[in-house]
């Protein structure tokens, strides 16, 4: 029994330390587990805090981006408004400038129209004075011829021959005048399309003078040829054109001289008109040059002769008018006249 008790006590003494050791390890394990749980909780808390900070940072960034976007949009709106205002100001300025230019153009056209009307009035006055002077010169020439005892009177047969030729010239001239009026209207339309205002005005004036000339010609149907000294006055001059000699009396010679002067005067006006229109130099394009009949009544010389010397004067007058000079003529006694030396060179009349 005692041995049993001793054995039991020995066994109990041995078992107690082993149990104590086991409990300590469990305790330490539980403590370690608690520590790890706390660490995990701390890590979770830290992760949650970081997530909150991240979300907050993202919200702040989004807010900043939104604010920046709004600022940029507002800035863009302000810039667009500023550009629109500048554009409106530019448009208003352009409109004001256009209005000023339109007013200036209107005033300029009004001034040009006034100047053209004044020039037309002066030209008409000059032409009337020139016509009166021509009439006086013609009458003076008639008186001189009547007083010239050396002038040989043509025979009645020669006189009738001249009158018949004259009547044929007038008939041909009347027919050509009708055609020339049609050409003048066509030419007028071309000038209007080309906006050559000055040349258009000049052609209108030339056409009007040509029309008045035709009316005067129609009123002279009952002309007293036998009372006109031209038809019984013998030739007193001769001239050469194209290698051929022609003989004319004083009346025909004066008409040829007048053809050159008429051509010079008309050419000068046509040249001035093209210069005002800033059109290219070209006297042959002028209707007056192509017509070459102003001042011709169908009397005394062939139409082709008058046309030739009219164009000789026209060409020189056009150059003076286009370039604004007086190389071939001058302004005298209220009208434009070609220089005597130039006239002599063109006609080269020689006494018989």
Q: Which residues contact 331 (CB under 8 A, 6 or more apart)?
A: 337
Hey, where are the domains in the chain? Answer: 149-351
What is the per-residue pLDDT across 152-183, written as a single tens digit (0 to 9) for each? 677 777 777 777 777 777 777 777 777 777 78
What is the three-class DSSP state of 309?
helix
pLDDT tops 80 at residue 21? no
Three-state DSSP state, 351: strand
Select, from the ranges 105-109, 136-140, 141-145, 151-155, the one with the highest average predicted confidence (pLDDT): 105-109
pLDDT score, position 116: 75
Decide: helix, strand or coil at residue 332.
strand
pLDDT digits (tens, 9 = 90+) for 38-86: 888 888 888 888 888 888 888 888 888 888 888 888 888 888 888 888 8
Q: Cα(224)–Cα(217) distance, rounded to whole angstroms?
A: 13
Q: What angle do CA 300, 304, 307 make, to 5 degrees?
A: 95
Give tens-digit pLDDT for 291-330: 998 998 878 888 889 999 999 999 999 999 999 999 999 9
Supply the DSSP string of 250-287, one letter for each residue. HHHHHHHHHHHHHHHHHHHHHHHHHHHTTPPP-GGG-H
């Amino acid at each position: 029994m005692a041995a049993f008790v001793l054995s039991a006590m020995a066994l109990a003494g041995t078992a107690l330390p082993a149990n104590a050791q086991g409990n300590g390890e469990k305790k330490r394990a539980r403590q370690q587990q608690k520590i790890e749980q706390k660490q995990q909780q701390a890590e979770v808390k830290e992760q949650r805090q970081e997530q909150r900070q991240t979300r907050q940072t993202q919200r702040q960034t989004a807010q900043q981006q939104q604010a920046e976007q709004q600022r940029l949009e507002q800035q863009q709106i302000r810039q667009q408004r500023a550009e629109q205002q500048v554009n409106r100001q530019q448009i208003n300025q352009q409109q004001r400038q256009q209005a000023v230019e339109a007013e200036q153009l209107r005033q300029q056209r009004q001034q040009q129209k006034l100047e053209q009307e004044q020039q037309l009035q002066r030209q008409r006055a000059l032409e009337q004075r020139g016509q009166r002077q021509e009439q006086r010169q013609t009458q003076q020439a008639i008186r001189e011829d009547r007083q010239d005892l050396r002038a040989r009177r043509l025979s009645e047969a020669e006189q009738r021959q001249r009158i018949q030729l004259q009547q044929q010239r007038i008939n041909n001239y009347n027919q050509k005048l009708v055609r020339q009026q049609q050409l003048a209207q066509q030419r007028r339309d071309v000038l209007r399309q080309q906006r050559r205002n000055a040349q258009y005005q000049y052609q209108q004036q030339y056409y009007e003078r040509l029309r008045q000339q035709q009316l005067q010609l129609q009123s002279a149907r009952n002309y007293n040829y036998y009372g006109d000294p031209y038809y019984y006055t013998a030739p007193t001059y001769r001239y050469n054109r194209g290698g051929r000699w022609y003989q004319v009396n004083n009346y025909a010679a004066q008409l040829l001289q007048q053809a050159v002067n008429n051509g010079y005067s008309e050419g000068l006006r046509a040249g001035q008109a093209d210069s005002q229109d800033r059109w290219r130099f070209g006297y042959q394009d002028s209707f007056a040059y192509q017509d070459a009949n102003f001042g011709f009544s169908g009397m005394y010389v062939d139409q082709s002769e008058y046309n030739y010397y009219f164009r000789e004067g026209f060409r020189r007058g056009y150059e003076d008018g286009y370039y604004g000079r007086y190389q071939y003529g001058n302004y005298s006694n209220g009208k434009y006249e070609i220089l005597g030396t130039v006239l002599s060179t063109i006609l080269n009349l020689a006494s018989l």
